[in-house]
Amino acid sequence: MLICLKFLKASACKREVGRNLVLKLIGVLALQGDYDKHLRTLDQVNIPAIDVRYPSQLFKIDGLIIPGGESTTMNDLMSRIDFHNHLIDFAQKKPIMGTCAGLILMSKKIKNDDKINPLGILDIEVTRNAYGRQLHSFIDKVEVVVDGSIINERVAFIRAPKISSIGKSTEVIGKHKNDIVGVKTGIHYGFAFHPELSENGYLHQYIFQGKTHYKEENNAA
């Protein structure tokens, strides 16, 4: 059975899983950064999505992505419209995915920056720009655990943070060599890399739909 939201384009549909119809609308925080890439990725895997620019929009959505960008700028913009408290309240019941700068903002502690007010949603400590500046950005393979399987995927690291420590409530789900690059705390996920720049949206699909097409289409590699 296929149901579509009338106020969204035709591709914004979700399939019925068993007898329970779950129709989710995912938001992407669109204050600064590469939010448009996330919106395109969600569209690619047929997940309804909107850009979120005001706290009042959080009541309309079932999950949120905090994208990569400039974490200090994003923090300042969030502070101007009191986004921090609203996001903390939102995280009590609904999942948030953070990538790069989003990971930094969702962390509990930032090792080398006291100007950012972290949300404390992920029980981790991070170091900003730990892989170097823009010039030192790179693409390399990471191992990510998705639905019980290990997936090797080439991903982009752009001025990426490093996860320097994790709390007891946090699970490691992604590694690059000896570095932790993907974590899960409760229903929330954080990644040091940019999954939205990959050719498939398997992480977006898994986090917000509880399933992924990756094994079916790409596991032969």
Which residues are identified as catalytic? Answer: 100, 194, 196
- C-alpha 96/C-alpha 98 separation (Å) is 7
Tokens of residue 186, six digits:
């409760």
Order the strands of the 170-176 sheet from edge to edge.
49-52, 26-29, 63-66, 96-99, 188-191, 179-185, 170-176, 138-146, 149-157
Give the DSSP H or E segment for 179: strand 179-185
List beta partners, residue 139: 156
Torsion of CA 100, 105, 107, 112, to 10 degrees: 80
Beta strand 49-52 with 26-29 is: parallel
Which residues, 6 or more positions from 59, have their beta carbon under 8 angstroms from its beta carbon? none
- C-alpha 185/C-alpha 72 separation (Å) is 23
- C-alpha 129/C-alpha 50 separation (Å) is 29
Count of H helices and E strands in the chain? 6, 14
